[in-house]
Amino acid sequence: MCEGESFVMMGDRWRIEGGSELVWDVEVGEAHEDHMEMSGERVSAIVRYGVSEEGELSLSRHVVWPSLRTIPNDTHGSLSFVFTGPGPGLATGEKDVVQQFRLRGIIYVESICGSLKTSRWLFPSIDKPIYFELAIIENTGNVSLPIKTLVPSEGTVTPALKGLDGSYVIDALPIATNKVDLPPGDHALHAIAYRARRSNEMEEYLDSDELMAELDRRRALVSNSLEGSMQFDCPVDDVLPVLFRFSQLRATESVFRTRNGLMHSPGGGAYYAAVWANDQAEYAAPMFALLEGSNAYEATVNMFRMYKKFMNNTDQHLPSSIIAEGTDHFSANGDRGDGSMVAYALGRFLLLSGDEKLAEELLPLLEWCLEFCNRHLNPQGVVTSNSDELEGRFPTGTANLYTSALTYDALVSAKMLCDELGKASSSIYQKRSEILKKNIESYFGAQVEGFDTYRYFDGCTVLRSWICIPLTMGIFERASGTIDALFSKQLWTADGLRTTSGNPTFWDRATLKCLRGVYASGEVERAHKHFLAYSRRRLLGNHVPYPVEAYPEGNERHLSAESALYCRVVIEGLFGLRPTGFRKLTCTPRLPPHWNSMSLRGLHACATTFDLTVNRDESSREVTVQVTQRTGDKDDEPLSTKVYKLEPMEESFSITLT
């Protein structure tokens, strides 16, 4: 299906329209409810929306203000409030029936009450502590109609002793055009601004012009993320490119302005103005390295600088999170292998950045993390930790596969980075990586539930989702048996990977790493079949439009870093990009059998912008990759173009950016 066309398949609730918008045409008797998170620099809103069987709109909003801190000022110390009122619209006894929902970084709702049509836009301010709901009421009939809009009464003043900065004022401010009667063809505006401020701050005045300007600014931010940043295109399906664009938006919008600079945070109603070694470092940083000049890139550098402050001489592990706007820290269940997470992310990030000055500044953190991991090797030569990123929800033993695999990749990156910087420790890291790779095989390699794969820890006799991790690190010795296990009935479900064999719990992070790793291994058909099914469910099913955290925990929250992991399935799985030095990458394209082309444009890294276009000749099956460099935006004139041809039996080639 060509981009720009609309399509829907059996079982889909939503359809794609215009290449970057989702549409749900509501049918009579169709009751359904969903939730979606949207974020700005100073506010985030989880909006629960839906319709009853009668077609009536239901709305509630969990609004969070990350920089307004409560007491205790801990991980969950962001001011928040749940608004359950009806929102802007008509105060009438007649039924207002929803016709359609649209999603494009903004929730749009269209409803009809007799000859009055109401269009609603729900969105956060991009830089103010305000979430907006705007309604435009239009008279589509032939006679003037009296109108009366709803007046909100929700809000509170918090106790001074419960706020880091004293009392906070939370309110729902109505903004309306003063119209009592609506002539035919005319329209009226009604909106509500859901706000919070310190009690000693002046109340901000907003009128209808400023409201429309806020909507335009949100639209511009969304358009820049969906069409102006990294772009993935393929010849057959709209689903993958659209979910890639939506995921890029969710991953990058969840950046908050705090008293210690920009901080990328998970969201989900609970995790704001804070960073985690897994979410922000391991999951998101390798993607954000390709977005130089963005808030997401700046927040990532800020995060690594924050973690650098926790280097120590007492063998104390890194904290799992740095919380409360960077003023405190927290460790969940001891050492989760956080040093290996940060080292893995930092090595890849610095190589992609190509910034020698930044690399010299942050290399000590990478070295410290790797020395910590080296000191915590067990007698069999694998890395020990108290748990993994699931923080003890499932058993991990004293040494788990996840932590050692991350450390291995970090050592590989450290060797490359030291080569670029002329550091003698390059050979040490190379030797350690080779030894650790062998130890991973000898310690974790095992027959588990009949599959030639990995045991997750010593004594583990059931399959675990994290057996996919070696594949993402380029360790393919047990790829065949591992992939069979991952897609077996013991682990795979309609929602992706179970965390452990036979257990209904799933976490999208594991599924997305699995798909990335299976593509990387060369099992393209199997990876692609499952990637398409997963993507369609997340984009067009009953809970849209982003990857989710987990279920049953968190009820499938739209945490931001999972969306970064989705983008990395494309970047590192389908295109096989891996930094090998400053301005140097390897590319291992994995074209699905029924595709003859794919492209990834607008990658910002190494102080340049570059595009990748992969083509396969239909008759000769020869694969070529065109690399185009630009000085700025992806639509600027090319600076240089190189074409690489993959020889028979060749899978990868090296790219050097000028």
Please tell me whether residues 235 and 215 are part of one structural domain.
no
For residue 285, tell me if it sits in a domain.
Answer: yes
Cβ neighbours of 649 (radius 10 Å) = 5
Full domain range(s) for residue 412: 229-574
Confidence of residue 606 (pLDDT cuts 50, 70, 90): confident
What CA–CA distance (Å, rounded) separates 412 from 432?
9
- Among 187, 208, 224, give the residue marking a domain's end: 224
The DSSP element (H or E) to which 337 belongs, if any, is none
The pair of three-digit structure tokens given for residue 347, joined into one six-digit string: 């090595």
Which is more confidently placed, 56 or 621?
56
Phi then psi dihedrals of residue 269, to 5 deg? 85, -5
The pLDDT-based confidence of 180 (bands split at 50, 70, 90) is: confident
The DSSP result for 212-248, as a single string, is HHHHHHHHHHHHIIIIIS-EEE-SS-SHHHHHHHHHH
Give the mean pLDDT of 396-424.
Answer: 99
Region 297-319: mean pLDDT is 98
pLDDT value at residue 92: 64
Q: What is the mean pLDDT of residues 73-96?
A: 88
Domain boundary among 201, 224, 247: 224
411 and 282, same domain (yes or no):
yes
Q: What's the pLDDT score for residue 4?
A: 31
For residue 500, CA distances in Å to 214, 222, 492 come to 46, 37, 10
Q: Are residues 208 and 249 in the same domain?
A: no
Could you tell me the CA-to-CA distances from 207 to 134, 210, 419 in Å, in that order?
12, 5, 58
Residues 144 and 174 in one domain: yes
Half-sphere exposure of 535 toward its Cβ, with a 13 Å CA cutoff?
A: 24
Residues 650 and 508 in one domain: no
Residue 566 CA to residue 516 CA, distance in Å, equals: 9
The least confident of 54-58, 176-180, 241-245, 412-416 is 176-180
Whether 627 has a pLDDT exceeding 90, the answer reads yes
Distance of CA 170 to the CA centre of its chain: 29
Residue 470 belongs to some domain of the structure: yes
| 314 and 355 inside one domain | yes
Instruction: Output the domain CATH number for residue 362.
Output: 1.50.10.10
Q: Which of 144-158, 227-241, 272-286, 635-649 has the highest mean pLDDT?
A: 272-286
* Contact (CB, 8 A) for 504 and 554: no
Average per-residue pLDDT in the chain?
94
Query: Residues 216, 236: one domain?
Result: no
The predicted pLDDT at position 633 comes to 66
Asked if the model's pLDDT at residue 5 lies above 50, the reply is no
Do 161 and 255 belong together in one domain? no
Q: Assess whether 49 and 169 both reside in one domain.
A: yes
> 332: Cβ–Cβ under 8 A, 6 or more apart, which residues?
320, 321, 387, 391, 392
Indicate whether 112 and 250 sit together in one domain: no
Helix-helix angle 524-540:239-253, to 10 degrees: 70
Distance CA 434, CA 432 (A): 5
pLDDT tens by residue, 249-258: 999 999 999 9
Say yes or no: 219 and 234 in one domain: no
pLDDT score, position 650? 86
Task: For tokens 């989760």, name the residue.
Answer: 336
State which of 224, 241, 269 marks the end of a domain: 224
Q: Are residues 622 and 554 in the same domain?
A: no
pLDDT of residue 637: 78
Q: Give residue 93's pLDDT.
A: 65
Whether the predicted pLDDT of 150 surpasses 90 = no
List for the chain the helix, strand, coil content (%; round to 5). Answer: 30, 30, 40
> Domain count of the chain?
3
pLDDT, one tens digit per residue, over 67-81 is 999 999 999 999 999
Q: Identify the residue whose tokens are 């923080």.
A: 391
The residue-averaged pLDDT of 623-636 equals: 83
pLDDT category, 102, cuts 50, 70, 90? very high
